[in-house]
Amino acid sequence: MADLEIVKISELPEASSFANLFTIGTDALMRSVKVSLAALASIPGLSSSVQALSTQISGIETAMAQMNSRITSLGGSVGDLSGLETAVKTSIVAAINELVGIVATISNKIVFLTEEDYAALSNPDPTKIYMTYEAQ
């Protein structure tokens, strides 16, 4: 057997198109599927919806990072930490880091489905955010 060469993802060449690229996941009925990235890119309105959502998430992450930086520069705790409504109450910086983690988690909870697939869900996952679109 030939030796396999280990290559880091960061060292691979970047694809110039979505042709012949696939991702894996599950459909609305929780069956394992492969999905053509070219097919996803061709869904009307999906690209602009994803871009708008990505822009909003990026804006939230930027705002959180700026807030974290400003509070860190204060040099310590400010105010009454017991009044924090986060799980972490040891410092304002720790509470902000908790919120940054929540924003990152939200971006992993968004599921795109056709209206028909969403209607076929017998028991939608309450931890997911479902966005529907019209099938072509």
> pLDDT by residue (tens digit) across 62-106?
888 888 777 776 655 556 677 777 777 777 777 777 777 777 777
Using a 10 angstrom Cβ sphere, with 0-12 exposed, 13-18 middle and 19 or more buried, the burial of residue 111 is middle
In this structure, what token pair is assigned to residue 133? 């679109």
Mean pLDDT of the chain: 79
Domain residue ranges of the chain, discontinuous segments joined by +: 43-133
CA distance 73 to 58: 22
H/E stretch holding 130 reads strand 129-133
pLDDT at 32: 92
Q: Which residues of 1-12 are buried (b: 16+ CB within 10 A; e: fewer)?
A: eeeeeeeeeeee
Residue 136 has pLDDT above 70, yes or no: no
pLDDT at 135: 65
Residue 56 has pLDDT above 60, yes or no: yes
Q: Which of 50, 22, 26 is nearest to 36 (CA)?
A: 22
pLDDT band with cut points at 50, 70 and 90 for residue 1: low
pLDDT band with cut points at 50, 70 and 90 for residue 2: confident
Mean pLDDT over 104-118 rounds to 78
Residue 45, classed as helix, strand or coil, is: coil
Q: Which of 128, 110, 95, 13 is nearest to 54 (CA)?
A: 110
Q: What percentage of the chain has pLDDT greater than the value 90?
A: 1
